[in-house]
Amino acid sequence: MTYRVSRRFFVSAMSVLLASCAGDGPRPYEQYGYSRPQMPASRLVVQPPVAQYPGMHGQPPSSRDYSSGGLTGTYANYPAVRGFIQDMVRKHGFSESYLNGLFSRANRLDSVIRLESPAPSQGPSRPGSWTRYRNKFLTAQHIENGTNFWLENADVLRRASASYGVDPEYIVAIIGVETYFGRNFGKTNIFDSLTTLSFDTHRRSQFFMSELESFLLMAREEGFDPREPEGSWAGAMGYGQFMPSSFRRLAIDFNRDGQRDLWHPHDAIGSVAHYFSKNGWHYNGQVARPSNGARNDDGVIELSTYEGNEYWHIFPNFKVIKRYNNSNKYAMAVHQLAQAIKQRVASTGALMHASNAR
Ligand SMILES: [Ca+2]
């Protein structure tokens, strides 16, 4: 039921957004100066999703044989797991025997516990942390793959940009930094990772328990088996690495095939744009520009390079990127990758000829 309500909500929200863009004025992307380059028709064929939504054609989870009279397995003696199951039964009407069976199959992941444990302090941070971070994402391969991702999904990016008022290069760059344009979704079982983080770690266990709750609701609403999805060790999924709570609030069925599928690039593009829009993105607004180093200014950040610190004026859009990941280095990497890919797309013919020649 909840699923139907939320689906209806998103469909009607989409209709409003699309309708509001149907006026005579220029669409946001048309102010952009971006024109699609000439390229062979085969380059325009949209690739099938790298991975289909887990269980999208499978049995609904309620029919999976997970029912069990009691909790067994690794978590049999965890009172907190029993309490969580009781809460899910009371708050959301889950079947207790279904959850008993599901959690009886949960695996504790030691690798996840290690990753969540704070690293021992290494004293003052070494200079160059921004340079090292930047070098991971501002590579020639990232720029070329980002350009190809843009061109392969140009129509969908244009529609998402127009619908949500978000500059396309930032949608592309987020997907690049998060998953290298869908090449790295993560291989950790999400149910196991969220269970481990909720009941075997302490630092952020409340947050992860809330995400586990969202994840089980998401599985029920979307009709997949919660044992199936894989993603990051911390529970993030798909091209845009959405956490389950973000998925439930902000994911969009942007290709309108009836499934919100973050493993499909088109739904991911719409969902990332929707996320930015909901967090206050200003279309064509400034993000950051170099500063001469007024350190006491709230609007200036410093980033450490081997040659000393860089200072940057930041604008509200920079903070919108940080809502995705609360790190100055992350937001600056997204910004610079976005600008680099945009430049390359704008100059493209050469790139496409070079690609085709190989
Ligand atoms: Ca879809």
Task: CATH number of the domain at 271, please.
Answer: 1.10.530.10
Q: What is the pLDDT of residues 61-99, one digit of tens each?
A: 444 678 878 999 999 999 999 999 999 999 999 999 999
Query: Which pLDDT score, from 0 to 100, does residue 66 have?
Result: 82
Ligand 1 center to 31 CA (angstroms): 28
pLDDT at 1: 36
List active site positions: 178
Interval between CA 202 and ligand 1 midpoint (Å): 36
Quote the CA–CA distance of 196 and 208 in Å, as a whole number.
9
Give the pLDDT score at 298.
74
What is the 8-class DSSP label of residue 59?
-
| pLDDT at res. 126 | 83
Beta carbons within 8 Å of 119's beta carbon, 6+ residues apart: none
Among the residue ranges 230-239, 292-301, 340-349, the one predicted with the least confidence is 292-301
DSSP 27-54: PGGGGGT--PPP--HHHHSPPPPSSPPT
Boundaries of domain holding 162: 1-31+138-183+258-358
Looking at the 3D structure of the chain, how many domains does it have? 2
Mean pLDDT check: name the lowest of 61-70, 183-192, 219-228, 237-246.
Answer: 61-70
Distance 75 CA to ligand 1 centre (A): 35
Q: What is the mean pLDDT of residues 37-45?
A: 36
Whether 58 and 224 have beta carbons less than 8 Å apart is answered as yes
pLDDT value of residue 161: 97
pLDDT digits (tens, 9 = 90+) for 13-22: 333 333 333 3
Which of 138, 146, 134 has the alpha carbon at shortest distance from 341?
146
Query: What's the CATH number where 76 sits?
Result: 1.10.8.350
Please indicate, yes or no, whether residues 174 and 142 belong to a single structural domain of this protein.
yes
- SS3 label, residue 230: strand
* In-domain check, residue 274: yes
Name the more confident of 63 and 276: 276
253 CA to centre of ligand 1 in angstroms: 4
Cβ-based neighbours of 174, under 8 Å, separated by 6 or more:
240, 272, 321, 324, 334
pLDDT at 52: 43
Asked whether residue 179 falls in the same domain as residue 197, the answer is no
Q: How far, in Å, is the centroid of ligand 1 from the Cα of 224?
A: 14
Write down the pLDDT at residue 51: 44
Q: Where are the alpha helices (DSSP H) in 21-139?
A: 41-44, 79-92, 96-104, 110-116, 129-137
Tens digit of each residue's pLDDT (9 = 90 or more) over 238-257 = 999 999 999 999 999 999 99
**Residue of 204, 202, 208 whose CA lies nearest to 190:** 208
Q: Tally Cβ neighbours within 10 Å of residue 32.
A: 18
Three-state DSSP at 242 gives strand
Work out the pLDDT band at 148, boundaries 50, 70, 90. Answer: very high
User: Which one of 172, 202, 236 terminates a domain?
Assistant: 236
Residue % of the chain over a pLDDT of 70: 77
For residue 296, what pLDDT is reported?
63
pLDDT at position 24 over 50: no
Q: What is the pTM of this model?
A: 0.79
